[in-house]
Each structure stands twice: as C-alpha cells, then as structure tokens.
Chain A
Amino acid sequence: MSTDAATAPLERRSPWPLIWLGFLVAVVAIWLLRDPLIWLVKYPDKLEINLAKWIGIAAKWLVAHIQFLTRGLAAVLDMPLDTAIAVLAKGILAPNDAVIVPRVSWLGVIGAMTLTGYAYGGLRTAATVFLCFTYIAFFGQWNGAMLTLASVIVCVPIAVALGLGFGILAFRHPRLATWVVQPSLDLMQTMPSFAYLVPVLLLFGSGPVPALVATVIFASPPMVRATVLALRSVPEEVMDFGKMAGCSPQQKTWRIMIPSSRALLMVGVNQVIMMTLNMVIIASMIGAGGLGYDVLLALRQGDIGRGAVAGLAIVAIAISLDRISQAAAEHQARPFKSGDTFAHRHPYLIAGIGWLAVTTLISLFVPEFSDVPKSLTLTLGDSLNEIVKWININFFDLIEAIRTWLLLNVMNPVKQGLLMAPWIAILGGLVLAGYQLGGRRLALLVALLVAFILIAGQWEKAMISVYLCAISAVIAALIGIPIGAWASRSDWGNRVATIAVDTLQTLPTFVYLIPVVMLFRVGDVTAMIAIVSFAVTPAIRYTAHGLRNVSPQVVEAARAMGSTPRQILWRVQVPLALPEIMLGINQVILLSLSMLVITALVGTRDLGQEVYIALTKADPGRGIVAGLCVAFLGIVLDRLAAAGAKRARERLGLLDINAQH
C-alpha cells in the first residue's frame, strides 16, 4: 500500500505544530458559535443524496440484464460443487434416497489427509492433521465438516486461479494495477461481505453457489497481492536468463517466474484457505450449509456446548489445511530420476488414493466404515453450558459492575463526544493529517472518501462505528502488544501464541458471542469484547514478528554496552520494531471494522446494522452504500496509518517492509 512520498520536507523546523494549533482554535471557535453555524456542526439533510435508491435501481437493472450470464455461470459452478459434495458428504443418491455410489469412507479421508500431511511436512504435520480429523470424527461433526470441506475444495482453486490471473495482469500492466486492481482489492477487503450478499443472491440464485461466489470475492484479494509481490521479487538474474534463453513472455511467466516464486505464492494460497474458512459462518447464512450452519442452529437453541464443538471443528479444518499448505510452501520436491515410474514419483498419492478406495469399498459392506459409529462419538453434553451457568450465577454482580463502569465512564463519553463533534472538524482533521503524512494526494483521497459518507447520510452511524472500533482497537493493542512481546522472547511462548492466534481467527465469533451476551448483556460492551477478541490477533502476530526480526547484532551491541534487558527491550528492540508494530495496529483497525457486521448481530446501531438490515430486506442499494461507508472508513484509516508508518521508517533509516521480502 504505497502512497507518494510526503511532499513537505520534514527537516527544517516543522510548521505543523502551528498548523494544528490553528486548526484547534478554529474548531473551538465553531463550537462556540455553534448556534449560527449549526450547518458546520450537524451536516444539513438537504445536502444528502439518496444514493441507496439510485444504486438499488442500477443494481436491479444490472441484475436483469446480466442474469442470464450469471445463471449460466452458476450452473457451471454447481457441477464441481455437486461432485465434491457427492464424493465427500452425500454420495450419489437415487431420488428415493437409496445410495447408488457411496461417499468416501471417513477412515479413508482421515488416512488420506494424514498421508498428505506426512508427504509435505513429515511426522509432525501428519500428527497434527490426524488429531484434527479424529476430533471431527469422534465429536460427531463429520457430516457438517465434509460439506464445509467440499466447498473449501472448490472455492480455494477458483480463488487462487483468479488471484493468480489478476496478479499477473497487475504485474504486467502497472497502470492497470494502480488505477483498477489496487482500488478494487482495497474495496473487496474492507467492504463487509454482507453488503454484497444481496446482489450475489439475485445474480446467482439460492443455495450453495452464491455462498461460493461470495466466499471467492472475499478470499481472492490476498492471492492477488501475494502474486504481485512474488513476481516482483524474482531476481533480475533469473529474468535475464529467461531473456537469453529466448523465452516468449508466456514462457517467461509460466516456466520461470511462477516456479521461482513458488514459496511466496504458497503464502498467498495459505491466506486464501484461511479466509475461506473465515467466511464459513456468513456463507452458511445464505445457503452453504455445513459446519457454519450447525453452529448457528446450535446457538439458536441456546446450546453453547454444541455450538463450540462445531466451531472448533472449523478450527480443526483450518489448522490442518494451514499446516499442510505451509509445509507445502517449504517443501522441496525430490528431483526425479529418469526411468522412474509414476508409482516411484508419487508414492504418497497412490497410497492415499488406494487407502480411500479400499476403505470406501469396505464401507459398502461394513456400515461402520461409512458413518462414524454413534457409539464412538463424544459430546461435551451440558458441561460447557453448566460452566457458563456457574460463572453467571456466582460472578454476575462483579461482571455487571465492570460492564457498567466501562459503559458509563469510557464508552458513552467517547460516543457522545464523537456524535456531538462538528462534522467539519472531523473532516478537516483527517484531511490535515492526510496532508501532513502523505501530501496532497492523500489529503484529496481522504477528503473524497469522508465526503461520501456525509453525502450518503450515514454520518451518525459512521461515528458510532468509529467509536466502537477505536475503543476496541486501543484495547486490542494494549492487550496484544505485550502478549506479542512476551511471545517473541521464547520459542515456547511463540508456539502458544500461534495456537491462540489461529484459534481466535478461525473460531466463528458467534460461538463465544453467546456466552459473552449471557454475561455482559446485549449492547456495546459485548460488541467491544467480540471485536477485541478478533482484532487482537494481528497486534500479537506483528509485534512478535517485529521484535524477533530486530537484528541480533544490534541487540548484542546494546548488551555489550551494558544495557539491562529492560533497556534493550524499550530502547532498542521496540523502537526498531515500531514500524512493524504499527503495521500490526493498522491491521487491528481493519479487522475491527470488518467485525462491525458481526457485532450488529448483538444489536449495535452502527453501519454494520445498516448492512444487516439491508440484507434482511433484500435491498441491494442500501447494503452497498453502507458497505462502501465501512470500506471508505477502512481505506482512510489504513492510508493514514500506512503513511505514518512509512515516515517512522524513514526517520529510523529502515528498509521498507515490503521490500524486505
């Protein structure tokens, strides 16, 4: 995410303190004169445009005219999806439900997945995968998990292929990259997925296909970014070699650049897989079925235990696929000898398929091979519900006191402040910050995006969103950075933190939202807890990574000069890792915004709620406008933070983080 270098030179005595002082005086003046100048405080309704209506009309027109195309596409997408579901989950059934071809045996799947893990990552990965899948089987989550896995298996290749395609396109045509690809990626990543669900439903019909499409939209951006980054990082010498060998541009791309940047590309694939699993709950709301649906149903029955078991099954799939794909990224293929037969080259592949075939064949005669026997499955029963109940009965008064204190002394004042602040002050402040950090272009971008929110009439809801996200982001940073620092100091700590971060990121928020509601009631505190628990992850991850990457020589030098460990941390490591920590905070902010839609489910009155209302009213215009507002907030904050981090790096004389790869 690059913006042009700051145009204002920073070395001479900076005029900025004076400028900000002037700004402050102006704001106070407006506030004092707020009665005659009310239009500068509260944005006049007359200047709002009913964008939702126009976008709604445009969307309906578009849908009517391209529906034949998208419906065709839906039919095409239905085929691989149907096949995957048949193979993994349902088998091929006659209309009267008689099994014609059985699904693959659960023992077969566990074996094949474990073998895959072993082939790429050795014993350790194999053990992880084995544990994850046996958990799924024995906790009675097999059917849901296979439905989910089927959609992941179809979704990931499509997202990867699209990402690769657009990435190559963006790499070859830098202009296209800056003006089309980059902005679309920003939108796709910051726009809440609920916002485009309605158009997707209209275009692609009901059932699993629209869920698949929405997931692809959500999951492919990291692949595009990874591809561009990977292609840029191919060494000059390798490219020159291609030129000398007389490769055509096509050959150069596919035979030289892609293979030589495989490791980085696999990082993209890994991201796609994780994002796909992130979408599981939301996709289940519009027809994907599977584990996400099981979680939702269980929680609607107030069954926390069952919801948690299904939610953890999603985590189990995520961890397995994550470890396998990470191992695959680092895996060095063994060179083949000439004369090797197919079986020599692919021993694991053949063993895996063989095992699947054998177990599935047996399952025709032995039902225990087809379904996990009920007698073997475990449940948490009521234990989790009982635990929550115990906490509820014994600690509610304490929790209620904390909640009330937070609400009355921290959250409500901030909310009131933001709601009462003149819009011109917030707009002006952001634009000024943009100019200071990134020059004229950034200032212009900020002005346009913030103006859109005003004109669309979403200011109040946007301010509530900002308040929720800001408080949550601060708390997430306060919790996450120390944990990250702790994790960076030992391998053991790092491992614990990694597991925690993985779980928090893939466990559907809804699973812990319900117990939190029970203890903290419906309202903003619950929403904040949900946001913090999801958004804390990048703070941990980036801090740990940044601190670990501080050059050992520098630390050694500091130690030689007699610094205490405390001094080393605060005077050397933290300042040097600051740019990366700031990048982490940047991610914290973006993730907070992305949680707005989820928090609407516990009853906040922000942009997320607007998006959610639009979804249930099937109003595409309203959803898109509110979604754009969230996206624009995200882009503004992201650009400002990125520009700030860049300046900090320049001041420290560090390399650009993106250039380090």
Chain B
Amino acid sequence: MTMTFRRKAMGAAMALALGAGFSMPAAAEPESTDPIKIALFDWTSVNLNATILSKILKSYGYNTELVTSDYLASIQTGLRTGDLTIGMEYWDTTAREAMADADASGETENLGPIGPKAKEEWWFPEYMKETCPGLPNWEALKGCAEAFSTPETAPKGRYLGGPVTWGGFDDERVEALDLPFEVVHAGTDAAMFAELESAYQRKAPIILWIYTPHWAPAKYKGEWVQFPEWTPECYSDPAWGSNPDKAYDCGKPHGEIYKYSWKGFAEKWPVAHKIAKNMKFTDDEMNALIGQVDLDKKSLDDVADAWIAANGDKIKQWAQ
C-alpha cells in the first residue's frame, strides 16, 4: 500500500479541466487523489488486467492500489461498500449468480466485458484419441469410459471436476447424459492442473474440467469434448435435449467476462471510469500475455509495462 499525500488545489484544477470541456491529457491532475482500489484475485489474466489498468491510471496521475481479494467475496462485499473500486474479471460461467445479486443490489456498476470469451468444458489430452477414437464427440465417452477409469472407480471412468464452489452441474450432466463416469471434485484449480501435469508427463488417461483464458490449453495439446450446445432451456427445461426427463443434458455455457465497479466510481473519478469501461482485449492478445507470464515466467510488471509501451494509441482512445 502506498502512502498518499493529498495535493491541495485539486478542486480548482478539476473545475478548470471539466469546465473547459477538454478531454483530459496524459498526466493531468486527477479528480481525486483518493486511491482507486483494484482487486487482485488468484489467477493470471485478472492480475494482468488489474496491473495494466493500474499502470495506465497512474500515468494519468491517479493514485491506485492493488488489493488482494477473494473472487466471489469481492463482488458481494468489497465492491458494494466501496472498499474496492474495481474488479476486472467476473465470469459468466462462475459468477453469474453473484453478478445478478450485485445488479439487484444497485450498489455496483457493470463496466461491460473485458473482451476474451470465457469457456469451460470437459477436456482431454490429444493422446487419448488413440484409446478413444470417437472423441471429441461426447457420445464416444459412453463406449470408452473404462479407458478413463482408476481402480476405485472402475468400470466407470473418472472425471476430474472443478472445485464444488465453481458449480458447473457436472454431477447432473453425467446423470442426464447417462455417462458411465464418476465425478471427482478437485478442491482448487492448482490441484486440478497438478493432476493434469502428472498425467500428461506419463501420457496417462485423464479427462477434466478446463477453462480459458488460461495457460493450460497453450501448454498441453488437447481438445474440448463436444457436448450438445448449451442453451438456457437446457438447464431449466427437462424436456429439452436428448434426455426428456432431465435438465443439464448439454455442455457448459460459455459467455463474457465482465468488469464490475463500485457504483460511486464514475462520479468520483470520471476519466478513470471511462478508461476502465473502454478497456478491452482480444482473445489472442490475452492468451499471449498470459503465456508470457505463466509459461515464460516473466513478471506481471514487465509484461504489463511492455504491453503499455506498445499500445499507447489504444490507451489514448480508451480515455477519449
């Protein structure tokens, strides 16, 4: 946390700038020097986004703070009370409920999507196609479950699901699609990817939940299982899909990743708000950045600095 020193005459400068109707040039006096608190969570892309935003805002003279927080707790406590100003990534796939809750409270603002699409689905390494040639079609799983089994699950296959806190309805999916699989939940994604790494080293059978943007699809060769495409009705209406009696007979939803802020953000720091709102990346851009951090082991700061240096024009547009 940086110590802050209030500068005097801020009000006057702000009035001048706004009154004259100019868009704010770089390194201008900010509207308020109170720290803008940007949340850090525990995966790479969000911390990259947060670091990049923090550095951009600093170049505009704002005082920012990067605050380590918990993903879902942040949108349910910090952003509502103003303890946090912005959280850079809330995924449609995992935070849908929490976002709906936050929208209903009226205490937060949805700043729009950050760009890359969130995808989560069952995933298998390429070499599994040899033992189970029908993949990636999901129906192949019915025939070669045994190839994915371990002694305690045999003859059923073993599917490594995400932490229970992620939801995802895999237990329901297995039942609705009548897949001969047992769902084992990992407690954290660190544990999940540790198992993937282990299996991949031995070219051993594994099928698990993977999500992007993430470094794993870049590091390991493999494919998503193709389930019947998700629609809202599939989850809500049992009649939909191949199983007339059960819902969840389809794949997982994919969707956007949203930025959320405390509702007072726009009023207190208008230009910063504009930058945050306009900030956007493409899928490829984000995956490349993540790769630099997680696979090439560069520091977040270095990667963020390099990106900012190369994209000055884009940043200027965001502030317009």
Contact = CB atoms under 8 A, between A and B. Distances in A.
B42 A297 contact: yes
B43 interface: yes
Contacts of B150: 400, 404, 521
B185 interface: yes
Interface in A291-310: 293, 296-297, 299-303
Interface centre among A198, A303, A392, A519 (most CB of B within 10 A): A392
Interface in A594-616: 599-605, 609, 612-613, 615-616
Interface string B185-214: 111111111110110011010000000000
A522 B68 contact: no
Nearest to B160: A522
Interface in B112-147: none
Interface string A196-212: 00100110011110000
Contacts of B37: 206-207
Interface in A318-362: none
A252 interface: no
A518 B197 contact: yes
Contacts of B190: 296, 299-300, 302, 510, 514, 601
A289 interface: yes
Contacts of A655: none
A93 interface: yes
Interface string A77-99: 00001100110001011111100
Contact of A616 (B73, B77, B189, B215): B73
A285 interface: yes
B198 A301 contact: no
Contacts of B72: 616-618
Nearest to A401: B151
B102 to A, nearest CB: 11
Interface centre among B1, B62, B152 (most CB of A within 10 A): B1
Interface stretch (B78-86, B226-234, B240-248, B251-259): B78-86
A288 interface: yes
Contacts of B70: 201, 285-287, 615-616
Contacts of B185: 522, 603, 605
Contact of B58 (A92, A97, A299, A396): A97
Given A206-B74, A301-B44, A404 B188 contact: no
Contacts of A609: 164, 187
B71 interface: yes
B163 interface: yes
B191 A514 contact: yes
Given A518-B195, A518-B197, A615-B70, A95 B184 contact: no
A201 B191 CA distance: 26
B151 A408 contact: yes
A517 B195 contact: yes
Nearest to B65: A207
B165 interface: yes
B1 A392 contact: no
Interface stretch (B2-10, B263-271, B272-280, B309-317): B2-10
B1 A207 contact: yes
Interface residues of B, number: 60
Interface in A381-406: 389, 392-393, 396, 400, 404
B285 to A, nearest CB: 20
A96 B58 contact: yes
Contacts of A269: none
B193 A302 contact: yes
A300 B81 CA distance: 29
Nearest to A93: B2
Contacts of A289: 68
A95 B27 CA distance: 11
Given A297-B42, A300-B42, A389 B186 contact: no
Given A519-B198, A618-B77, A603 B152 contact: no
A613 B184 contact: no
A518 B58 CA distance: 41
Given A206-B37, A206-B67, A297-B42, A517 B2 contact: no
A193 interface: no
B77 to A, nearest CB: 5
Interface centre among B5, B67, B83, B192 (most CB of A within 10 A): B83
A613 to B, nearest CB: 5
Nearest to A287: B68
Nearest to B82: A205
A284 interface: yes
A408 B150 CA distance: 12
B90 to A, nearest CB: 13
B256 to A, nearest CB: 21
Contacts of A97: 2, 58
A575 interface: no
B61 interface: yes
B76 A208 contact: no
B287 interface: no
B69 interface: yes
Nearest to B70: A286
Contact of A95 (B58, B68, B151, B160): B58
B108 interface: no
A641 interface: no
14 contacts: A206-B37, A207-B83, A296-B42, A299-B190, A400-B150, A404-B151, A408-B151, A514-B194, A518-B194, A522-B192, A602-B187, A603-B163, A603-B185, A617-B72
Smallest CB-CB A-B distances: 3 pairs: A518-B198, A205-B83, A603-B187
Given A201-B78, A300-B190, 5 more contacts: A82-B1, A285-B70, A286-B68, A296-B42, A521-B150
Interface of A: 81-82, 85-86, 90, 92-97, 100, 198, 201-202, 205-208, 284-289, 293, 296-297, 299-303, 389, 392-393, 396, 400, 404, 407-408, 412, 510, 513-515, 517-519, 521-523, 599-605, 609, 612-613, 615-618
